[in-house]
């Protein structure tokens, strides 16, 4: 999918967590293509190095740093460094996320704590340390929730709990900071064809078929389609939108789950 190039975010500084792979990379590149200076945080040092190397010399205003969003002190230091270097912060996308399979009865405690640490605490840490700077610029936060925060999935208790909490944390922060000019929204992606999911579907083609059958648009999202909604919510085009969650799922959450039996 071709990137739209504009100057909509010229002069603005953005942080994207989990910003060098999957949906996060698509968000980073979309904001860059529209003129933003983007600092991507990611825990995977190899991915950070590779992403930086691929885009070196591109003319894009990109930086990428190794940051563990589950580490509050690390996030605080990284955010302070971004503001010290660039003098402002306008857009924050707390996107980093992981999953660990299991029901509430059998998910490992290690897995539960890891998922909540990244998917919920990581969003909280990122918001906590960026909000004072966003108040100064009347900036915007766009969290990456999930349709798994809008309903339950089989064997994803920790992920469902974390993403559901992100949806309501987004509302809470929007309420608290709206009068200070900060808008806070969430995107709730459905299944997106990231490289990780692509590899899994190659090994389990019946899952791809099930997605195609259940999604009204009949296909998975491209990561760039998620990024386009993030860019909209972060922009002045969404100047009167705050506290909302937009499902970007091809209509999946509009379906009741009942079988197609009406001929």
CA distances, 5 to each of 19, 60, 231, 235, 246 (Å):
19, 11, 12, 14, 23
Whether 159 sits among the annotated catalytic residues: the reply is: yes
Q: What is the CA radius of gyration of the chain?
A: 18
Helix axes 122-137, 72-86, angle to 10 degrees: 30
DSSP 21: S
For residues 33 and 27, give the distance between their C-alpha atoms in angstroms, rounded to a whole number.
10
Query: Considering 154, 159, 211, 240, which one is annotated as catalytic?
Result: 159
Q: How many CA atoms lie within 13 A of 199 on its CB side?
A: 3
Residue 170 is encoded by which pair of tokens? Answer: 């987004």
The catalytic residue positions are 159
């Amino acid at each position: 999918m071709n990137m739209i190039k504009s100057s909509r975010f010229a002069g603005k500084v953005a942080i994207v967590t989990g910003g060098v792979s999957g949906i996060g990379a698509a968000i980073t590149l979309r904001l860059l293509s529209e003129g933003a200076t983007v600092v991507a945080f990611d825990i995977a040092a190899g991915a950070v190095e590779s992403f930086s190397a691929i885009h070196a010399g591109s003319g894009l205003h990109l930086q990428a740093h190794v940051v563990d969003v589950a580490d509050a002190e690390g996030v605080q230091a990284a955010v302070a460094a971004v503001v010290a270097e660039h003098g402002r912060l306008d857009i924050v996308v707390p996107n980093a996320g992981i999953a660990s399979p299991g029901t509430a009865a059998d998910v490992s405690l290690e897995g539960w704590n890891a998922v909540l640490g990244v998917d919920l605490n990581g969003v909280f840490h990122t918001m906590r340390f960026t909000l004072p700077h966003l108040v100064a610029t009347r900036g915007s936060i766009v969290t990456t929730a999930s349709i798994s925060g809008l309903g339950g999935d089989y064997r994803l208790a920790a992920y469902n709990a974390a993403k559901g909490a992100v949806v309501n944390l987004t509302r809470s922060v929007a309420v608290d900071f709206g009068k200070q000019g900060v808008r806070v929204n969430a995107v709730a992606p459905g299944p997106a064809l990231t490289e990780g999911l692509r590899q899994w579907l190659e090994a389990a083609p019946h899952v791809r078929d099930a997605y195609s059958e259940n999604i009204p648009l009949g296909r998975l999202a491209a990561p760039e389609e998620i990024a386009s909604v993030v860019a909209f919510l972060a922009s002045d085009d969404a100047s009167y939108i705050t506290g909302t969650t937009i499902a970007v799922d091809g209509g999946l959450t509009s379906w009741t789950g009942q079988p197609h039996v009406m001929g």
